[in-house]
Amino acid sequence: MSQSLFLLPGDGIGTEIMAEVEKLIAWTNETGLTDFIIDRGLAGGVAYDAHGVAITDGDVTKALAADAVLFGAVGGPKWDDVPYDQRPEAALLRLRKELAVFANLRPAICYPALADSSSLKRELVEGLDILIVRELTGGVYFGEPKTITELGNGQKRAIDTQVYESYEIDRIARVAFDLARTRGSRVHSADKKNVMKSGVLWDEVVKGVAKDYPDVALEHILADNAAMQLVRTPKQFDVMVTDNLFGDILSDVAAMLTGSLGMLPSASLGSPDPVTGKRKAFYEPVHGSAPDIMGKGIANPIAMIASFAMALRYSFNMLELADRVENAIADVLEDGLRTADIAQGDDRVIGTQEMGAAILAKLKA
Ligand code: NAI
Ligand code: MG
């Protein structure tokens, strides 16, 4: 049965790295490993140039109808002066909202070949494979009231509000426990229940969900300690589930254990459809549109290709093919092939297309 992929390459290097994924898809389709029907849309500055909006209603509709969305990156100085609500990033915010993707998956994988570019010593990170599951649509970034008021004495007061309802914690916890079952069967839940009511509820709900997963070990960790432990002994973690704010910070900490921004994929998942069980899903590299290197053919396509591997794994349950793509990435790195962002010393540096081709060649082998 065919499955639909909606591609939104976006701006800057987004188009360059998506082109390499398209070559992989062309091959998996050709060989019958997949039967993807591909459609393409415009998001970000390119959509603004063509239609005067960051993304058209038509492309949002296509994203909602697709089995998975692959997104490159948006933004760039060219669009610094467009109206705020149509700035390139507005496409991303609208898509996340309409797809209602509340679970943000950020793997931090340290390929042995790149262990020396980590911020930590090789032995601490070699073989690292952590999955941070961040709640993406609730918490202090969205809670009301959210205000700045003049107090009349030259002082101002800013208020952000952390709000979580139990259903929001329950559904993100289930995502984390389900994922843990496919990996090391361990979940760390990070909150600040020692000083925050939202942390108390977080812990209570996560512990309740854990009862449905007797085969998965749950450990509680205070979020500040989690930050410390991530840079002390990161390999103790498998899956970590946490709220929007702590997840933002902890996933960036974990990212830097792995080397370059050009290596980091992500997935954002919504609730399962009550009829089909399928989740809306959005896959994108963590990095942006890198205007400083756009058009030079030197961008690292690995984060985008690894995002496609996540789509194979989480939207299509093609676990073997996902493994093959990830192994192809590891093999190419093992061979010493490097784009400029991950090169060190006298490594031979290759461009975007050569890296894409090398990964495809490994996949074919
Ligand atoms: P950025 O991630 O685009 O670039 C940061 C640095 O990392 C740059 O030096 C860039 O050349 C390098 N880099 C990033 N990805 C790379 C790759 N695949 N290969 C090699 N080098 C890579 O972040 P920056 O510079 O802060 O933002 C640039 C634009 O991207 C802005 O307009 C920003 O708003 C947008 N942005 C978009 C995101 C998205 O679409 N999800 C996320 C972050 C930023
Ligand atoms: Mg962040």
pLDDT in tens, 277-305: 889 999 999 999 999 999 999 999 999 99
- Domain contains 117: no
Q: Which pLDDT belongs to residue 196?
A: 98
Q: Is the complex ipTM higher than 0.90? A: yes
Prediction pTM value: 0.93
Task: Give me 229's structure tokens.
Answer: 């432990």
User: Residues near ligand 1 with C-beta < 6 Å?
Assistant: 13, 73-76, 89, 92, 261-262, 284, 287-293, 299-300, 303, 341
243 and 291, same domain (yes or no):
no
Averaged pLDDT of the chain: 95
Residue 259: band (very low, low, confident or very high) from pLDDT cuts 50, 70, 90: confident
Residue 157 scores a pLDDT above 90: yes
Residue 256 scores a pLDDT above 90: no
Closest ligand 1 atom to Cα of 293? 11
Residue to mutate, 78, 289, 307, ligand 1, most ligand atoms under 8 Å from C-beta: 289
pLDDT 10s digits, 107-132 = 999 988 888 877 888 899 998 999 99
Q: Which pLDDT belongs to residue 119?
A: 80
Enumerate the active-site residues.
141, 192, 224, 248, 252
The residues, ordered by sequence, that sit 6+ positions from 271 with a Cβ below 8 Å of its Cβ are 100, 102, 171, 279, 280
Pairing of strands 265-272, 103-109: antiparallel
| Distance in Å, CA 96 to ligand 2 centroid | 15
Q: Is 78 annotated as a binding residue?
A: yes
| Distance in Å, CA 113 to ligand 2 centroid | 26
Number of domains in the chain: 2
Residue 346: band (very low, low, confident or very high) from pLDDT cuts 50, 70, 90: confident
Q: Which pLDDT belongs to residue 212?
A: 98
Sheet strands (E) in the chain: 3-10, 36-40, 68-73, 103-109, 129-135, 147-150, 156-159, 186-191, 217-222, 239-242, 265-272, 279-285
Question: Final residue of a domain: which of 233, 256, 279?
Answer: 256
Question: Final residue of a domain: which of 228, 256, 284?
Answer: 256
| Distance in Å, CA 288 to ligand 1 centroid | 3
310 and 339, same domain (yes or no):
yes
CATH code, 338: 3.40.718.10
pLDDT 10s digits, 187-232 = 999 999 999 999 999 999 999 999 999 999 999 999 999 999 999 9
Closest ligand 1 atom to Cα of 44? 40
Q: Please give the residue that has the higher pLDDT: either 113 or 40.
A: 40
Residue 150 domain boundaries: 129-256
What mean pLDDT do residues 57-84 have?
A: 97
Quote the distance between the C-alpha of residue 234 and its chain's center: 19
